[in-house]
Structure 1
Amino acid sequence: MMPGYRVLVHASERDRVPVALNNAKNLIAGLGVGAVEVRVVAYADGVEGLRASGPNTVLMDLLASHGAGFVVCANTLRSRNLTAEDFPDYVETVPSGVVELVVRQAEGWCYLRP
């Protein structure tokens, strides 16, 4: 069954990542697991908030267990000397975070910038 809603949650500022993750949690709680596909898209300082060693991993683990997706920008990773290993296994890498936002919106995804 395809979810009725697909939402991109923008995360480009480290201090806004907890808000973005709580927005994702509220979307899943409000619309129901399986009724919404949530994808957190991080680039720039936002990637720091998704690191495996960071303070947000417990909430990220919970969201991932409910089907939320997480992507980080490869351009940002290169500029900060980070690799995919710096993030939990369920975090994917995309070539460009801003391109991911544009392409997904063109596909009909809703956009949320906390």
Structure 2
Amino acid sequence: MPETRNITPPATTGPGLLIHAAGPMDEEGLLAVLRSAANATAALPTDRPIEVLIQGPGVKLLASDSVAIAAVQEALGAGTHLLACENSLRSANLEPGRLTPGVGTVPAAIAHLAYRQWDGWAYARL
């Protein structure tokens, strides 16, 4: 599997949950996705990682100057692994260095989804 960038892969005893959010997204949409991740964190075993993968124009909300910065930082602090699709970053003219510290990237969301599913991860599309 290609490595994700800018994050340390979570240590687990098994697969986790991958939450995929794609397409146009405003701040309220991202907040809803992050609430779902927080709810999953509270309800699932603590040794199972939660990844939120943002694909599409919503990657702009993961930037360090985003209106959603506080929510992004809170999610990261709670242990949620936030990932941005590099193809989407290019389409949005957003350099990976402008992402909030702690937000990782994957080369292609579609490939990351496939790899995680092949590895037995649960998948939720929001």
Query: TM-score scaled by structure 2?
Result: 0.78
User: What is residue 84 of structure 2 aligned with on the other side?
Assistant: 72
> Within the alignment, does 1:61 sit opposite 2:79 as a pair?
no
Identity over the aligned pairs, expressed in percent?
29
Shift of 1:5: 5.6
Query: In the alignment, is the contact (CA less than 8 A) between 2:63 and 2:100 conserved in 1?
Result: yes
User: What is residue 16 of structure 2 aligned with on the other side?
Assistant: 6
Compute the RMSD of aligned alpha carbons.
1.9
- Mean CA deviation greater in 12-21 or 100-109: 12-21
Q: Hey, what's the Cα distance between the residues in 2 that align with 1:103 and 1:4? A: 14
Q: Hey, what's the Cα distance between the residues in 2 that align with 1:81 and 1:96? A: 16
The 3-state SS of whatever aligns with 2:50 is strand
Shift of 1:17: 1.9
Shift of 1:4: 5.6
User: What is residue 92 of structure 1 aligned with on the other side?
Assistant: 104
Shift of 1:29: 1.7
Q: Structure 2, unaligned stretches of length 5 or more?
A: 1-10
The equivalences for 1:1-40 within 5 A come to 2-3=12-13, 6-13=16-23, 14-15=25-26, 16-31=29-44, 34-40=46-52
User: What is residue 47 of structure 1 aligned with on the other side?
Assistant: 59
Q: Hey, what's the Cα distance between the residues in 2 that align with 1:12 and 1:5? A: 22
Q: Hey, what's the Cα distance between the residues in 2 that align with 1:4 and 1:100? A: 17
Query: TM-score scaled by structure 1?
Result: 0.85
Q: Hey, what's the Cα distance between the residues in 1 that align with 2:15 and 2:67? A: 28
